[in-house]
Amino acid sequence: MAGQQTQTVRPAVTYIKGDIVLFRNVERFWLGQPGHTFVGRVERSWTHVDTGKVLYDLTELGSLSYRAGIDPDYMRPLPATDAMHDIDTAPLKETDTGAMTPAAVAWLRQHLVPDAAALPARR
């Protein structure tokens, strides 16, 4: 059929207090203004009286600013599994810690303090 358009339907995500999310301020984004995207922590959810839409209040983690009335259409979850992937897949059998990301090395050093000497030396 000519003129038929398809629309991608994204499943609704429900966020709870403490979830870490990525938020994009759509107006700033489309206008090319800086500071349009940030990482935030969900503080609460509430339903807008007029629209019936669920909105969220976030704390912007970079500045600890409180942002109210965030539209979830412009939020994406930042799952812990993604944040921890580099540590979970760190090549522990490698003799060169340069093969590991800095985050993996830092985590290992923190959690292996008594055995820190057991880590291979960084070249």
Threshold 0.75, pTM exceeds:
no
Whole-number pLDDT of residue 117: 54
φ/ψ bin of 72: left (φ > 0), alpha (ψ from -120 to 50), beta (otherwise): alpha
Whole-number pLDDT of residue 61: 95
φ/ψ bin of 17: left (φ > 0), alpha (ψ from -120 to 50), beta (otherwise): beta
Whole-number pLDDT of residue 11: 62
Whole-number pLDDT of residue 83: 84
Kindly give the confidence (pLDDT) of every residue in the chain, 123 residues in length, as a single tens digit, with 9 standing for 90 and above. 556 666 666 667 899 999 999 999 999 999 999 999 999 999 999 999 999 999 999 999 999 999 999 999 999 999 988 888 877 877 777 766 677 777 777 777 777 766 545 555 555
Three-class DSSP category at 105: helix
